[in-house]
Structure 1
Amino acid sequence: MDNVQARPAPTWAAYVCTDQGAEVAHAVLSGLGFDEGALRGGGLSGAARLSDGPPIAEVLLTEIGNTPVETACDYVAEIRRSGARVVALGHQSDLSTYRALRRAGAWEYFAFPVTPGEIAALRAEPPVAANTAAPAPAPCPTLGVLGVSGGSGASMLARNLAFHAASTGGPGLRTALIDADLQFGTQALDLDCPETPGLLEALSAPDRIDATFLSATMGTLAEGLTLYSHQPGASRDIATMEAALPRIIGPMREAHEALVLDLPRGATLRHPALAAELDALILVVPAGYAGVNAATRLIQRLRAEAPGLRLLPVLSDLRRDAGLHPRDLSRAIGEDFVAHLPRCDAAATRALRNARALVDCQPRGAYARAVRDLFTLGAAPEKPRRAPRGLFRRKAA
């Protein structure tokens, strides 16, 4: 038994931005046996800037300071991608802040005033505790994106969801983007890449689809991201090819870790089997009267023909419309909106002119945050509930 060595304790470092934070962090680090070199300035944002490589330490005690909560969540996610665990300190004592930071990947969040002992007590908790709130993605999540009316931004959303899914800074999944609009689909055009006639081959003979076939017929957009997008000539039988769309999804699932389909309204309604292949259908709704009318009719039809389908309505402000209040829109369509796509004219124009995804051009913008949250929601339909800790444990004592 004397030869059995104890597992080394995790290394800690602290990044603070106020005297109060420095005092607490110094006491925590001293109590854990670390010297003053582990205490640094810069707060949470400073720690995030230094986390683009290997983890600085196994556990980073960080102070939010005046950073907005949404930005703080982005910083937490950046640090988590390096492999370090994040403990956050701040003055916000509301439940929404606590939940947002935990969803972003924080091991724990403590609101001032907090004692060093409460923070140091985390050392005794299992490392997986911070990750239990994050649901595991379903095997090859298959997400459809459908605009309830033209110009709502559905194709742009589908494109950005696919780029996010494949991103090494995100889920890093082997992803396929399928432009299912065989008449007017523009994914290849918007990304300035060659069309993929192999899509027609796949639809003509779905039984031929395997990893080798897909590798030879799909276009490559980025590492881990491939595309099917093609507009057949007028002589092709579009109706027959549309009817084959549901049959290609199963074989493509076997060769990928995520699928994103840019769906046209007509084909989706004509072929209920297509919706049945999806894990979730994202409905992009503009804030106008026409959008409300179309969304209501689509939802009623989809509920009747695909009752098991999970619908995720998303409010889009990408174009100026009637500007109806989200609460009124939600009441009118009978569904709650799960996300909001904000206006981002300059960034969207820049992305389109450069044939790039908006999440790559402006990864910290509000639109990119909405895309990340939406993919997480669509890929993980069931979220296990977990009792809050940290912020409220003192109130229960």
Structure 2
Amino acid sequence: MPFDSATSQGIARFAAYVCTDAGAALARSVVQHGGGDSRAVHGGGLSGAARLCADVPLALTVLAEIGNIPLDLACECVREICRTGAKLVVLGEQDDMETYRALRKAGATEYFPLPAQADDILAVHRDAPERPVVVKMPVPAPKSPSIAVMGSNGGVGASLLAQNLAFHGAAPKGANRRMALLDADLQFGSQAIDLDRDETGGLYEALVAPDRIDATFLSATMDHLTETLSLYSHQIRAGQEAQSLERGLPRIFAPLRAEFDAVITDLPRGTLFQHATLAAQLDALVLVIPAGFAGVNAASQLIDRIAAESPDLRILPVLSELRRDAGLSRKDIETTIGRPIVATLPRCDAQIARAHRAARPLIECQPRSAYAKAVAAIWAAALPIANTDDAPAKRSLMRRLFG
């Protein structure tokens, strides 16, 4: 019998996708004469078959009916099916050489205008040379960038920088990405307060039960500051223990990175070192350092420890002039910490005060300020532009139309 139920690879010998009564009758006749299974006849036509074959081959031989789709789309569908290695026989109402040549050029083994005979189609299956069957393995989705911002000391502007980095990433005139801002300071985190927003109790739920997190959960529990920026920020209450909740932090990054184009985390120093698996969830750490002796000393110790415990984590030192300090030079700081400074946050007391009173990020209130330029430079250092070779390929016509 020409149509055995399946190959040794688990791939069916024959499948038909029709969209008219005439096509269905012919497909059933082919199955009957070929000794196949009547369950091999499906609806959807050529376009439906192309949609279904995106991940796995449909069968060694596919019979598909064009239906009412235009010829250029039909040819795109043919190419999509033939990429799997299947032999494709196409049926249609059109009886002209242009249609025949276009479909054959796209990869179809044969084209028959309706009405056609089952024996003719069986002859194609019998006589056509075997094509290698290409089984497409699922490719894991790439993780979105995860960037943390941490101060070597308190009061150096790390939380302010995290907030402005997130807004820069989400802004149409910035990076224009779907962003998540995660306030990982469960005791004194101020992101929601600084932006005059309600705290997101959903962060507590996420940390207690990370397995529950999916796109629907995130949509329901995060505060959507803009169409492209969402926030998690919540201070614990009496009776809640921060350190036990922080154990859930490493596990919430995977769903966040799956849902958003990038994740910015406002990260306290202690939290990073109390949870060994947290560093593995970060691509880069922006370390904000004041120009003072204590701050530079703390930064040097932090860098040495991070380099020893998490050597793959990129550390991006940023000099903060937001507060008056000893005024150490950039060169001296770079020599002490052993790394170059990627940007300097300039002192801008009046601008920060206006932004805080407006409960808006500084880069929105002063988009052309020196601070805004520094934020853009830090973003570029933390998330370098991908090479064009790594950019996702443009989707085909068929995929753009059918998803």
Secondary structure at the counterpart of residue 340 of structure 1: strand
Aligned to 1:282: 286
Q: Distance in 2 between matches of 1:310 and 1:349?
A: 32
Helix, strand or coil at the partner of 1:273:
coil
| 2:149/2:288 contact within 8 Å kept | yes
1:293-338, Cα deviation, whole Å (9 max, x unpaired): 1101111111111011000000000111110111111111111111
The residue identity in structure 2 corresponding to 1:211 is A
Which whole-Å CA distance do the structure 1 matches of 2:216 and 2:386 have between them?
33
Aligned equivalent of 2:200: 196
Please tell me whether the aligned partners of residues 281 and 311 of structure 1 are also in contact (alpha carbons under 8 angstroms): yes
In 2, distance between residues paired with 1:140 and 1:150?
Answer: 29
* CA deviation profile, 1:160-186 (whole Å, cap 9, x unmatched): 000000001111111110000001110
Across the aligned residues of Structure 1 and Structure 2, the Cα RMSD in angstroms comes to 1.4
Pick one of 320, 324, 327 that aligns with 1:320. 324
Instruction: Give the secondary-structure state (helix, strand or coil) at the position aligned to 2:236.
Output: coil
Q: What amino acid is the match of 2:279?
A: A
1:271 aligns with 2:275: yes
- Inter-partner Cα distance in structure 2 for 1:381 and 1:309: 18
State the AA in 2 paired with 1:164.
H
TM-score by length of 2: 0.60
What do the CA deviations read for 1:231-250 (whole angstroms, capped 9, x no partner)?
Answer: 01131121111111111001
Contact 2:143-2:258 within 8 A present in 1 as well:
no
1:251-303 Cα offsets, whole Å, 9 max, x none, are 11111111000000001111131121111000000000110111011111111
Secondary structure of the residue that 1:183 maps to in structure 2?
coil
Report the counterpart of residue 363 of structure 2 in structure 1: 359
Q: Tell me whether 1:306 sits opposite 2:310 in the alignment.
A: yes
Question: 1:332 & 1:295 partners in 2: Cα distance?
Answer: 9
2:291 matched to 1:291? no
What's 1:169 paired with? 173
2: CA distance, partners of 1:241 / 1:254: 22
Residue 234 of structure 2, aligned match among 230, 241, 263 = 230
What's the offset of the Cα at 1:139? Answer: 5.1
Separation of aligned partners in 2, 1:319 and 1:357: 18
Match of 1:245 among 224, 229, 249: 249
Structure 2 residue 215 is the aligned partner of structure 1 residue 186: no
Q: Which residue of 2 aligns with 1:258?
A: 262
Query: 1:144 aligns to what SS in structure 2?
Result: strand
CA contact (8 A) 1:287 1:315 kept: yes
The gaps in structure 1 that reach 5 residues or longer are 1-137, 385-397
Contact 1:142 1:379 in 2 (8 A): no
CA distance in 2, matches of 1:203, 1:378: 26
Which aligned pairs between 1:48-197 and structure 2 lie closer than 5 A?
A: 140-197=144-201
- Number of paired residues? 247
Q: 1-side partners of 2:287 and 2:188: how far apart?
A: 19
2:387 and 2:352 mapped to 1: Cα distance?
32
Q: Does 1:350 align with 2:338?
A: no
Output the amino acid matched with 2:347.
R
SS at match of 1:283: strand
State the 4+ residue runs in structure 1 displaced beyond 6 angstroms: 381-384
What secondary structure is seen at the aligned counterpart in 1 of 2:278? helix
Give the superposition deviation at 1:197. Answer: 0.7
* TM superposition shift of 1:381: 7.5
Letter in 2 for 1:333: I
Identity %: 57
Q: Secondary structure at the match of 2:364?
A: helix
2:234 alignment partner AA: H
Secondary structure in 2 aligned to 1:185? coil
For 1:275 and 1:180, the matched residues in 2 are separated by: 13
> How far, CA to CA, are the matches of 1:197 and 1:317 in structure 2?
34
* Cα contact 2:158–2:266 (8 A) shared by 1: yes
1:216 to 191, 202, 220: 220
Distance 2:341 2:228 in 1: 30
d(CA) in 1 for partners of 2:357, 2:374 = 22
Specify every segment of 5 or more residues in structure 2 that has no aligned partner in the other structure, as ranges: 1-141, 389-403
Which amino acid is the alignment partner of residue 301 of structure 2?
R
Alpha-carbon distance between aligned partners in 2 of 1:383 and 1:342, rounded to the nearest angstrom = 31
